[in-house]
Amino acid sequence: MGLGTYDFALAIGGEAGQGIATPGDILARIIVRRGLHLSTYNSYQSIVRGGHIFLTMRISDVEVQNHGDKLDLLICLNQDTMNRHQRLMGPGTRIVYNSDLIKPGTEDNGADLCGLPVSELTDSRNRLVQNTIAMGASASLMGIDFAVLEESLAHRFQRQGQAMVDQNISVAKAGYDYSQEHFKPFEQSPPTGGKPLAVWSGNEALAMGGAAAGVKFYAAYPMSPATGVLHWMAANARNLGIMVRQVEDEIGVANMVLGAGQAGTRSLCATSGGGFALMTEAVGAAAMMEIPCVFIDVQRAGPSTGVPTKTEQGDLWQALGASQGDFERIIVAPTDCLDAFNTMAEVFNLTDKYQCPAIVISDLYISEGRFSVDPDKINMHPKIDRGALITESSDTEGFLRYKDTESGISPRALPGLEGYVHLAATDEHDEDSTLLSDEFTNPHKRRAMVEKRARKFDTILADIAPPVLEGPANADVTLIGWGSTLDIIAEAAAALNAAGTSTNYLQIKWMVPFHGAQIMEILTKAKRTIIVENNFSGQFARYMRSETGFSANGHIRKYDGEPFMPHHIVDGVKAQVSGETDKYIPYQEITV
C-alpha cells in the first residue's frame, strides 16, 4: 500500500510524438528486473500529435497499484510541461529538462533545476535525442549504475541494429556523466528487491485471463481504452489456438460472440461504453437463448464519445440495464490487474454453469495502467468447469433444451449432436424450444420459462466469495468502494489511521449477483460510512440503496476524467468528519 522503505515517483511530460513511452518502458524494465514494484498512469489526449502527455511512474519496495500523491522527479520534454508542473515540485525534488529549448518559470518552490545543454552534449540532429540524454541524467540522479541502463538500452534497441544501440548508449552516457558532475543525486537510491518481476496492463491481464480460461474465439471492433485486449489476443492467437476477428462494428462483434458461444466455444469480446451500447440487444439474446458468453466494458468518461482517453466509473447502470426485459446476467468489476486475470476464469465457469451472459466492468485506469506482478502468481491453468454441457451423441429423443428443472439449469448440447435437435431463437420458447409467439402465446408456459431462468440464480451467491471488511473492526469511518479504486482507498485508509482517524474499508467486486445480506451485516455496524466512486451521480450508491435500502452518511466523487489519488480520499474524509460537507468533490490542479 505504498508503506515500504522506498517510495519514489517520477513523471515524463511532453506532447504526443515526442517518444514519451520509450524512456518509460526502459526505466520500467530496470525497476522490475531489480525486484521492485511499480505502477504507471499515462494521462494522454486523443490526438496523434501535440497536446499534453504526462506519464507517471511510482516505484516501491512493496506492492503498489496506484500512482500515489507525490512527484520526486519531473522530466520535461517541452516548455508546456515545465509551465504546468514546475510549481508543484517542492524542496528535495528534481526537474530535468533541455536547457537549450526549455526555460524554467519564476514560480520556484524549491525544486532542484537540472538543465541539460543538449546541443553541447551531442551532435545528433534527432529531435528525440533529448529523451535519451534526460534518461541518462535521471538514472544518475536516482543512483542507478550506468551499466544497468546500458543493458536496458541495448535490449530496447537491439532490433534496430548495433549502430542504433551504440548511438543511444553514447548519448545516455553523456547525460549520465553531465548529471554526475553538475547535479546532486537523491539521497536514497532504489534498493534491490526480491526476484525480478513482470509488467502488465489491465487489458493484458483480461486477455491472458480469457486465454487461461479457455477462450477460443475473440471478436472486437477497436475502441479505446479496450483495444489493448484485441492487441494481446491478435499477437498471441496463433500460438494459443484462438480465432480472433476484427469485425466491422460492435453489433457484428456481439452476434459473432453469441454464435461461437452457441457452438460450445468459450467466446469473449471487449469494448468501451459506446460500443457496449450497440451490443446490448445481443446481451438480451444470450439471456433468452441461455448462451454463456462474456462481454468486457472498459469504461471511459462519457456519455457519447465523451473523453475517449480519460477514466470514469460511469457505466454501472448501463450494464445493469443492458437490453430490455427481466433476465439473469452476471456483472463483476475487478479490483486490480491480478484480480482481473483471476476473475476471467471464475466468470467463464459461472456463465457456463448458469448459462447466461456476463459483463466484466473495467476502466481506463487499470486497463491502460501498467503494474508489476510476480509471475508465480499468474496461474495459466485454472480450474475449468463447463457446467451441464452435453458433448457426445446418444439415441435420446425429444431433447428438452430448456427443461424446467428444479435448479432452473437445463443441460445444453453442442449443435449437431445426434439425438439433441433443438432450436435457438430470440423468441420466448417452450421446454423443447418451440416458439411460443407464432400462433398463440400460452401465458402459463411463458410464466414457467421466466421463473425457470430466474431460479438459476437462487443458489449462485454460494459460488461467489462475499466482500470482506479490511482494517480496524470498530473504526470511526468505513470507506465503501467498487472496482478499480481498491488500492487507492486502502492507501488512504492507511494514511488516515496513521493520522489518528480510525478507518476501515469495504470493496465491492460482484455487482450481480449482489451480496446484500452480507454487506448489510457489515455496514449496519459501521459508525460513519462514506462511498467513494469515479462518477457524478453516485451510481453505486444508488444501486446499493435499491438492493438493500442502505444510504451512506457521505460521498466522495470524482468525475473530471482523472483517477483518484489517495490524498483526495483523505481530504474528503477529513472534510466530512469535521462537518464541512457530506459530499466531497476533489479539486484537481489543471496540470494533466
State the CATH number of the domain containing residue 498: 3.40.50.920
Tell me, yes or no, whether 350 lies in a domain.
yes
Given a contact cutoff of 8 angstroms between Cβ atoms, the answer to whether 532 and 484 are in contact is no
Residue at 38: amino acid letter: L
Counting other chains too, the contacts that 131-134 makes at CB distance below 8 Å and 24 or more residues apart are 131/18, 131/19, 131/20, 131/22, 131/23, 131/77, 132/23, 132/168, 132/171, 132/172, 132/175, 133/98, 133/171, 133/172, 133/174, 133/175, 133/178, 134/23, 134/75, 134/77, 134/96, 134/97, 134/98, 134/175
pLDDT of residue 125: 67
C-alpha distances (whole Å) from 193 to each of 7, 31, 59, 426 are: 13, 9, 11, 56
Is residue 175 located within the same domain as residue 220? Answer: no
Residue 548: all three cell numbers together: 438493500
pTM, rounded to two decimals: 0.96
Last residue of a domain, one of 464, 488, 512: 464
Given a contact cutoff of 8 angstroms between Cβ atoms, the answer to whether 15 and 78 are in contact is yes
pLDDT of residue 2: 47
Rounded CA-CA distance 360/139 in Å is 39
Is residue 286 located within the same domain as residue 149? Answer: no
**Alpha carbon of residue 483 to chain centroid:** 9
Tell me, yes or no, whether 591 lies in a domain.
no
Residue at 302: amino acid letter: G
pLDDT of residue 453: 98
Last residue of a domain, one of 464, 485, 513: 464
Rounded CA-CA distance 433/585 in Å is 52
Residues paired with residue 116 on neighbouring β-strands, in sequence order: 98
Residue whose C-alpha cell is 423443447: 432
Tell me, yes or no, whether 187 lies in a domain.
no
Tell me, yes or no, whether 383 lies in a domain.
no
Given a contact cutoff of 8 angstroms between Cβ atoms, the answer to whether 426 and 288 are in contact is yes
Residues paired with residue 373 on neighbouring β-strands, in sequence order: 198
Tell me, yes or no, whether 189 lies in a domain.
no
Given a contact cutoff of 8 angstroms between Cβ atoms, the answer to whether 13 and 52 are in contact is yes
Look up the CATH number of the domain holding residue 57. 3.40.920.10
Q: Give the strand pairing for 50-60 and 7-16.
A: antiparallel
Sign of CA dihedral 249, 250, 253, 259: negative
pLDDT of residue 17: 86
Residues paired with residue 557 on neighbouring β-strands, in sequence order: 533
pLDDT of residue 430: 94
Rounded CA-CA distance 62/43 in Å is 24
Is residue 171 located within the same domain as residue 209? Answer: no
Residues paired with residue 50 on neighbouring β-strands, in sequence order: 16
Residue whose C-alpha cell is 430490455: 324
Low-confidence ranges of the chain (pLDDT < 50): 1-2
Rounded CA-CA distance 55/74 in Å is 10
Rounded CA-CA distance 410/398 in Å is 14
Is residue 536 located within the same domain as residue 564? Answer: yes
Rounded CA-CA distance 58/38 in Å is 5
Tell me, yes or no, whether 188 lies in a domain.
no
Is residue 366 located within the same domain as residue 417? Answer: no
Is residue 502 located within the same domain as residue 355? Answer: no
Rounded CA-CA distance 414/392 in Å is 8
Residue 3: all three cell numbers together: 508503506
C-alpha distances (whole Å) from 23 to each of 60, 260, 445, 522 are: 19, 41, 64, 46
Residue 485: all three cell numbers together: 479504486
Given a contact cutoff of 8 angstroms between Cβ atoms, the answer to whether 554 and 584 are in contact is yes
Is residue 349 located within the same domain as residue 289? Answer: yes
| Domain residue limits at 62 | 7-182
Last residue of a domain, one of 377, 407, 442: 377
Phi, psi of 460 (to 5 degrees): -65, -30
Given a contact cutoff of 8 angstroms between Cβ atoms, the answer to whether 168 and 212 are in contact is no
DSSP string across 61-102: SS---S--S--SEEEESSHHHHHHHGGG--TT-EEEEETTT-
Count of the separate structural domains present in the chain = 4
Is residue 160 located within the same domain as residue 216? Answer: no
Longest dimension (CA), the chain: 89
Is residue 225 located within the same domain as residue 314? Answer: yes
Rounded CA-CA distance 341/134 in Å is 35
Listed residue (387, 391, 448) closest to 415, CA to CA = 391
Tell me, yes or no, whether 192 lies in a domain.
no
Is residue 230 located within the same domain as residue 356? Answer: yes
C-alpha distances (whole Å) from 38 to each of 28, 58, 60 are: 7, 5, 6
Look up the CATH number of the domain holding residue 314. 3.40.50.970
Tell me, yes or no, whether 191 lies in a domain.
no
Is residue 240 located within the same domain as residue 318? Answer: yes
Is residue 264 located within the same domain as residue 172? Answer: no
476, HSE (Cβ side, Cα atoms, 13 Å) = 11
